[in-house]
Structure 1
Amino acid sequence: MESERLRLAREGMYRPDLESDACGVGLVAATDGRPSRRVVASAIDALKAVWHRGAVDADGKTGDGAGIHVDLPVRFFDDAIADSGHKPLPNRLAVGMIFLPR
């Protein structure tokens, strides 16, 4: 795989000078392939268990942006877009999360 790493360094976005260790990666998945709230709840519990990543940063108040990756419920958003009087476009969906002060 060394040749592939070198090819990516030469041709791709891989930057060996920016590579660093991470404290870890977790994976929670349903082996039957069906969406499940239990999987999401378990992933959140796993993230919270790594206190310095998902729960609290060094200041004791904030997190560092670690989170979970889930599939977008595209049909839900397509229905919401249609309900608002607009036409959903295929493969043109993005979802953002914004935290505002209380």
Structure 2
Amino acid sequence: MAYDDMEVVMYKILRYLYDQLKAGRRAEPKMIRAEGDLFVINERYWKWILSEMKAHDWIRGITIVQNGKGDFYVDKLENIEITMDGAFFLKDDKYMKEVCEELTGIRRS
């Protein structure tokens, strides 16, 4: 699995947001930006991933703003949080389990 595969990026975002929630801290935007501390991917791909995650109700707090030219941008990144659906997806989805195993070398049940 490549570092920039969609599943890997989603896993890193959700894992980070979940860990921040458990620790009682807000997410830091610098961690999850396209060229952030967790990964480096192109901006368009990053916006698409966040848009899909929001559409599936795995994250909340951000706003996806259409610019009228067929493109969009992400606003309020500082408010991003994982949802309960996102936490369950992180824990139960087979692709998320595969990513976790590959990144950590630890098999989850």
Greater share of residues in strand: 2
- More RCO (CA 8 Å, sep 6+): 2
Larger Rg: 1
TM over 0.5: no
- TM-score bin (small chain): under 0.3
Greater share of residues in helix: 2
Instruction: Give the TM-score taking structure 2 as reference length.
Output: 0.26
